[in-house]
Amino acid sequence: MWVFKVGGSCLRDAAGICHLPTVLAAVHADSPRLLVVSAIGKTTNQLLALAEAAGRNDLGAAQEQYEHIRGIHREIVQGLFTPASAEGIWGRLEERYWKPLWQRVQALAHLSEEAGPATDAVLVYGELLSSEIATAYLQAQGYPVEWMDARRLIVTDGSYPEPTVLQAPSQANVDAQLVPLFRTHRLVLTQGYIASDLRRRSVTLGREGSDYSAALFAQMLRAKGLIAWKDVGRLYSSDPKRDPNAQPLTELSYAQAAEMTYYGAQVLHPRTLKPLRDARIPLYIRSYADPAEEGTLVAERWIETLPPIHTARRGLALIEVENVDLAGLNAGELLHGLQAEGLESYFTQGGIRTAAFAVAGPQESIERWRATLPPGCEVQVRQPVTLYTILYPDPEASLAIPNGQALYLQRMPERLHWLAYEG
């Protein structure tokens, strides 16, 4: 059993979907496989804009965005099938997804629903549509593929925006509903990113959560491996789009890949690696455009000889706290308060009366946290800033800091961090 994950950028147009049979034929063609797909292209962002317009009760803007998304998908369907087949498939999508989606949008505009769950109920349509289109195309190419709704499998606690997956009921669903399909089908197709809660409401697993879904499925199916097919088919020592000297990384440990991801590498979702590490399932990052090209293996073995790895986590807020009453500050308590407000901290530096944190999260959460501070604490917030990190730095190399002087600089034996204004 293998799990394949195909990202939305790989399926951004008809040509991308047409490439699916080539990828499926390239590796493990004789093994049972679960194919996990994302929404097409930028659909999730477009659906979020649709939900935001509905939340403002701007149905004019919502309808314009809705028609834009429909147009993209209709063009893809017309590019994949004969005119007669395309009309039949589009009619089925219209009844099953497009009409219910517009009803959801109207409900979001007119009813007093919780914004988070109501938005999720809109966002799930991206994966449902892409998976239906991909299934129809593969069936037209002769693949006896079975479609499965991931919301019937993955169960969460329903918290927003990144719910906790409930392992026991999810495993029971996989065992009862997904595993039996492989007795009659070598290929089953499902969705990443989407799930349900205990009330059977549609939820999402957080932005970029499709890789996480695939890892969960791999764990619950006890798969031999997970292959993540990407536009960028391997990990690099730095962003190859920004750095022409970026070096390919052929192998990493789970811990090394997790550290890269945490500090800003964009190829993987941060939560993807834990289910794989817990089950000792290797992750292969491969090129969707060229399936024969060597990729990156992420497994248990620690790799001793890695080049310096450069990452950048952008769009952070720098929070600086000073106790002007000359009393001491407990940086740990301050950090706990930030986390309680749902703010994720990527950098911490503390002194006796001062502390600094670089966090990601909404401004409202920062303000709620600020209101809980004791008298005498003054707070300054500077944003946006970028946290630059070098993992395994060369101690002999000189440091060139982007965008001028570092706001903070932190040296450790195997890590070097600095904060600078974005530019």
Answer positive or negative: Cα dihedral of 141, 143, 144, 145: negative
Task: Assign 399 a pLDDT band (cuts: 50, 70, 90).
Answer: low
Q: Is the pLDDT of residue 19 over 70?
A: yes
pLDDT higher than threshold 70 for residue 407: yes
pLDDT of residue 329: 85
pLDDT of residue 115: 66
In the prediction, which pLDDT does 271 show?
Answer: 86
Higher pLDDT, 399 or 239: 239
Delimit the CATH 3.40.1160.10 region(s) of the chain.
2-299
* Residue 113 in this model has a pLDDT that exceeds 60: no
What pLDDT does residue 249 have? 96
Write out the residue limits of the CATH 3.30.2130.10 domain(s) in the chain: 309-421
Residue 105, pLDDT > 60, answer: yes
Nearest 10 degrees: Cα torsion 48, 51, 52, 57: 170
Q: What is the pLDDT of residue 232?
A: 87
Task: Return all residues near 166 (Cβ < 8 A) that are at least 6 apart.
Answer: 155, 156, 157, 198
pLDDT band at 269 (very low <50, low <70, confident <90, very high): confident
Arithmetic mean of pLDDT over the chain: 93
Nearest partner of 16 among 221, 216, 289, 224, judged by Cα: 289
pLDDT of the residue at 396? 72
pLDDT tens for 341-357 read: 989 999 999 888 999 99
Unique residue bearing structure tokens 């403002």: 56
The string of pLDDT tens digits covering residues 55-100 is 899 999 999 999 999 999 999 999 999 999 999 999 999 999 999 9
Give the pLDDT mean for 359-381: 92
- pLDDT score, position 326: 77
pLDDT at residue 292 greater than cutoff 70:
yes
Contact 262, 270 (CB under 8 A): yes
Residue 52 pLDDT exceeds 60: yes
| CB-based contacts of 103, cutoff 8 Å, min separation 6 | none
* Distance of alpha carbon 77 from alpha carbon 85, whole angstroms: 9
| pLDDT band at residue 162 using 50, 70 and 90 as cut-offs | confident
Higher pLDDT: 352 or 172? It is 172
- What confidence score (pLDDT) does residue 112 get? 54
What pLDDT score does 73 carry?
98
pLDDT at position 257 is: 94
pLDDT for 330 equals 87
CA distances from 279 to 138, 231, 330 (A): 30, 26, 38
**Mean pLDDT score, 187-212:** 93
pLDDT band at residue 394 under the 50/70/90 scheme: confident
For the stretch 119-129, pLDDT in tens is 999 999 999 99
Fold of 2-299: Carbamate kinase (3.40.1160)
Per residue in 330-342, pLDDT (tens digit) is 889 999 999 999 8
Per-residue pLDDT band at 50 (split at 50, 70, 90):
very high
CATH tag, 309-421? 3.30.2130.10
Q: What is the pLDDT of residue 403?
A: 53
pLDDT at 404: 57
Share of the chain above pLDDT 90, in %: 78
User: What is residue 374's predicted lDDT score, i.e. its pLDDT?
Assistant: 85
Q: Where are the beta strands (DSSP E) in 344-400?
A: 344-350, 354-360, 377-391
pLDDT of residue 171: 98
State if pTM tops 0.85.
Answer: yes
Tell me what the mean pLDDT of segment 231-238 comes to: 91
pLDDT at 189 over 90: yes
Quote the pLDDT of residue 406: 87
